[in-house]
Amino acid sequence: MNPRGRNQKIERPVVIAVEGMDEFSTLIRLVEHFEIPQCVQFFVFREVGGNLQNCLEALLKTPGFDMVKYFGAIGDCETSRSATDASYINSFSRNGYEAKCGEWAKSNEIHCGFLLLPTEKDSGCLEDVYIDSISDPNRLKCGSEFLACLRGNGLGKPGGASVNQWESKIVARSVILGHNDPALPLGSSYSTSLWNKKSSAFSAIAKFLREAADGVS
């Protein structure tokens, strides 16, 4: 599945715009793991329009959109769930649709909705979903100690990310570094035994996608 909307048409009745390539890679593996019907097509909104609002607008003009029954988005909570929630609602509204977080609701003959990750926290990013799903507590301990070492020695800066998001990315990456393929991207690592696929964090995402898939079956 090509995540980039350029020169591509919509071929499935469930279309989900996702924030980045790690989300894309995670979700295509999650759909397979949870045996969700293959009726979902993902597009990376940073590759289609640059932001969610522009991505939704571009998808509306993409050949095949007339077959879409469920139209949604999945991204990070960032530093504030409430602020990001309002931003997503506005992005859908500016494209003529109403959408709510965590549920599907009919709007202009199409069901719309979005999910912010992690689903059970007021802030955060995809890495927090992974951290909440670590299979071996010792790996989390090692990751936390590595982060403490960086902070204790004044090393590392959050850059464009918030401090909390930067810390989550450090811990998640340190867990992957302990795998026999330490260069694995976050999304690709979903298929490894590092993470508990039955965690509530992953199950919430699967539930959202399955509701859409069941709605078109």
Report the candidate in 194, 191, 171, 177 with the shortest Cα–Cα distance to residue 34.
191
Positive or negative: CA dihedral 204, 87, 23, 195: negative
- Write out pLDDT tens, residues 77-127: 999 999 999 999 999 999 999 999 999 999 989 999 999 999 999 999 999
- Write out pLDDT tens, residues 181-204: 999 999 999 999 999 999 999 999
CA count, 13 A, side-chain hemisphere, 92: 28
Delineate the domains of the chain, giving CATH numbers in brackets: 14-122+198-216 (3.40.50), 127-191 (no CATH)
In this prediction the pTM is 0.92
- Strand 70-76 and strand 110-117: the pairing is parallel
- Write out pLDDT tens, residues 139-176: 999 999 988 898 888 776 666 557 788 889 999 999 99
Q: Which residues are 15's β-sheet partners?
A: 41, 71
